[in-house]
Structure 1
């Protein structure tokens, strides 16, 4: 999910802890503003991998949602947060509760990331497989408004946290379960409609009844939208002749941008365009095809002497444009 949503979930998780943890309810002096701040930090902690941007966009793509979201990291992130909180608040006996709830915040962060289409390597070190359930958009407006309203009522003193936050998280669990069920249903029907296509991806749009899809057949890539159960706006891109053995394709694989891209992409396809200045080798992840656009990939430009002129990797879309991953 996006940063604002993770921060907001940290606030409402603090409210849930206040509602259901007797130790927290019994010591309001120990669990005040600093308590909320600690869970906000914990809720965002796995995304501190943003420091990888210092080394460039390719390093960030390679490292984002990787080690920082892995199983060992679940247990490591809460440790300094709990210790700093206990030291700053002066309640050393609160450290264990702070650690447990910070751990819950970190795990919730990873779960929310796994629910969207970009995915997360949350099962490292056992596997580097990207886990993506494709059920939620990067920013889910319905969950955001729901949690924002609950947080505002609680912080303003207008609502008792005891009934409010258990109800909030019950509603959240129901909504997420409903989205996962709908995604699986749409995916199953898409495969049936495309005649058993092996590789199909269905990802959500902002509208709750609209989904985008990308699929791969032996001869072509297929994309489109599913609106209220109907497949619409289908676009096919023939695969054409294989380019894997092209010398510039091989040369592009030695660049940092393409190495980072291939470490992440699950349905990579390469295109070559030439003009008077040279050749561009464009790698795209077909999983993120949205209509006629291929917004995520890596480009390597070569001059006429086949020397690398430039390389870049990332998204080529506005924040409000799909796909919403």
Structure 2
């Protein structure tokens, strides 16, 4: 989820923590627990700082090791140690329990996005991306804001937040059912589809659709069970040539390939004699464009002159990034 949603979730969980008698009866423990929940809700996303280095590193590692099984164990311990120094009289066990819950919930809700996480590391580096909830879901965010506002105006925090999360469990179940129904609709529309990837949008019934058959990629949009296919591309494996061997060793391309499960490629000769290789992720079609790409310009000796990967929404912006 986005940073704002994780933040409002941490406030709501802090209210729910008052159901714990130790937290409710000890002001210092409540202060430490609330702080720990907020830190725990944000800690896994500390790898966002990698974006300051470059897109390749960010794409390859964001929601990676910081969302892994060891991280879910380590983050609460670190947070508890720090808060023990700030709140020495707080009950450390209960601080750890609630910090652990906050970190675990952060990782859990992230796997429902299309971006996903490497939540099962170190057992596997596979991206777990269920594609059920958009990174920012206005319903989830709005329900949290309403519950927090009710608490601020005097509503009892525990029943208010308990009701919130009961409603959200129901909401997630509805979204899971809808996701399955849309996949079935895509399979009915593209009978030979062997793989279907949905990317939920901010709108309740709308999904971006990418599907593979044995021979073609299909790209479209779903509105509920109504499926519209916009593009159909013949599947062409990456050529095994010195040119593509060189490109696939580039850091930007390695990051793209490690992250994108469904893409196509294009190649063209530029006026300056360089060859341009472009990999295009098919999951994010928007305004007739495919904004997530990896691009490299290669000379006659297969040297990478320049390359880039990331989200680009105009050709002019892409060329400025390459320059």
Give the TM-score, by structure 2 length: 0.91
Q: C-alpha deviations, 1:64-95, integer Å up to 9, x for none?
A: 11111111110100112112222212324x11
1:66 equivalent in structure 2: 64
Residues 1-325 of structure 1 mapped to structure 2, 5 A cutoff: 1-18=1-18, 20-32=19-31, 34-92=32-90, 94-154=91-151, 156-239=152-235, 242-277=237-272, 278-290=274-286, 292-304=288-300, 306-317=302-313
**Preserved CA contact (<8 Å) 1:121 1:131:** yes
Q: Please give the alpha-carbon distance, in whole angstroms, between the structure 1 residues aligned to 2:203 and 2:59.
A: 28
Inter-CA distance 28–218: structure 2 relative to 1 (3 Å threshold)? same
Q: Which runs of 5+ in 1 are unaligned?
A: 319-325
Q: Please give the alpha-carbon distance, in whole angstroms, between the structure 2 residues aligned to 1:171 and 1:115.
A: 17
Q: Please give the alpha-carbon distance, in whole angstroms, between the structure 2 residues aligned to 1:274 and 1:224.
A: 29
Q: Please give the alpha-carbon distance, in whole angstroms, between the structure 2 residues aligned to 1:139 and 1:54.
A: 22
**Structure 1: which 4+ aligned runs deviate by more than 4 Å?**
none
1:322 equivalent in structure 2: none
Inter-CA distance 29–73: structure 2 relative to 1 (3 Å threshold)? closer
Inter-CA distance 29–306: structure 2 relative to 1 (3 Å threshold)? closer
Instruction: Note the C-alpha offset of 1:235.
Output: 1.9
Instruction: Note the C-alpha offset of 1:157.
Output: 4.4
Inter-CA distance 111–88: structure 2 relative to 1 (3 Å threshold)? same
Instruction: Note the C-alpha offset of 1:147.
Output: 0.4
The number of aligned residues is 313
Q: Aligned with 1:226: secondary structure?
A: strand
Instruction: Note the C-alpha offset of 1:246.
Output: 3.6
Instruction: Note the C-alpha offset of 1:54.
Output: 4.4
Q: Which runs of 5+ in 2 are unaligned?
A: 315-323
Q: Please give the alpha-carbon distance, in whole angstroms, between the structure 1 residues aligned to 2:28 and 2:100.
A: 22
Give the TM-score, by structure 1 length: 0.90
